[in-house]
Amino acid sequence: MKILVCLSNVPDTTTKIKLNGDQSALDMTGVQWVINPWDELALTRALDLKEKSEGKIDTITVITVGESLTEPTIRKALAVGADDAVRINLNPTDDYEVASNIAAWVKNNPYNIILTGIESSDYNGSAVGGMLAEFLKIPSVSSVSFLDMEGDKPLMKREIPGGTETIRVPMPFVAIVQKGIALDPRIPAMRGIMMARKKELTVVEPAGEGSKSTYIGFAMPKAKAKVKMIDAENAGQLITLLHEEAKVI
């Protein structure tokens, strides 16, 4: 069995966002690039499943749609334990283009399970996983917080408002994962970093559809008014202010 993990290459979550002079683009100079946190957890879970599968899961492949600047991120995933990697050489402008291009690869290189994160921490689209499944005409399960194999059959839990559902769908499928899928991401060890250099990173040219949307400008959020401090001794006054001034209770 083969698992594919889709990796989004994103600025480190503590990055201060800056705009260029005419606000037409984000200024990405000096940004530290990392694996999108959900994708890191997806990869961790895939590796856990492989290790306990007694050989039934033979390869974990990672894939990124991005130009060569994404390679350090891909190498990190290889260092953590992915077996091989694919980079689709394209600077995508939307989720449609990303999903369509991954689908084009998967059509010729099938996988049993495909994992994506619920959201990329840069453009917050929450769309690539579902779109990919639709392009491939295979099932997708969203908000997945648990994935395990029961023999040859995968079992999942998805988080619904106020609870969880235990779900099964036939393979191949896309699982769109979120909190709970793995506890902590694996950190690459020295040995892994050395081995990663020898692992295969296949670069392919785009074969999917183009984008349907594009960002044409950016803005910083409006600055918030200064906080109104309330004396701790008279903390109860807050309730009055919330009712009379803020009108939220």
Partner 1 sequence: MSVIVYTENWDGKFKKSSYELVSYAHALASELGVETIAISIGQVPEDQLNALANYGANKVLCVKNPELAVLDNAAYASAIARAAKANNAQVVVFANNFTGKAVAPRVAVKLEAGMANSVTTLPLSFSPFVVQKNIFNGKAQGNLQINSNIKVLSLAQNSFGVKESSVSLTIENFDAQLDSSKFNTELIEKNTVSGKIILTDAELVVSGGRGMKSPDNWGPLEELAAILGAGTACSRPVADEGWRPHSEHVGQTGKVIAPNLYIALGISGAIQHLAGVSSSKVIVAVNTDPEAPFFEAADYGILGDVNKILPKLVEAAKAFKAHS
Count of C-beta atoms within a 10 Å radius of residue 132: 25
Of 108 and 166, nearer to partner 1 (C-beta) is 166
The reply on whether position 218 binds ligand FAD by CB under 6 A is no
Torsion of CA 10, 11, 13, 17, to 10 degrees: -130
In DSSP terms, 140 is beta-bridged to 174
The reply on whether position 104 binds ligand FAD by CB under 6 A is no
Name the one range near ligand FAD by CB under 6 A: 15-23, 121-129, 217-225, 230-238. 121-129
> From the list partner 1, ligand FAD, none, which binds 147 (C-beta under 5 to 8 Å, kind-based)?
none
The residue assigned the tokens 């980079």 is 87
Q: Are 128 and 120 in contact (CB under 8 A)?
A: yes
Name the one range near ligand FAD by CB under 6 A: 76-84, 120-128, 143-151, 239-247. 120-128
The reply on whether position 140 binds ligand FAD by CB under 6 A is no
Residues 67-96 that bind partner 1 (CB under 8 A): 94-96
The reply on whether position 187 binds partner 1 by CB under 8 A is no
Q: How far is the CB of 128 from ligand FAD (least distance, A)?
A: 3
End-to-end CA distance of the chain: 55
* Residues contacting 162, CB < 8 A, separation 6+: none
Of 65 and 78, nearer to partner 1 (C-beta) is 65
In DSSP terms, 59 is beta-bridged to 2
Provide the token pair at 215.
């960002």
| Phi and psi at residue 20, to the nearest 5° | -75, 175
Residues of this chain that bind ligand FAD (CB under 6 A): 6-9, 13, 36-39, 63-66, 91-95, 98, 116-117, 119-120, 122-129, 215
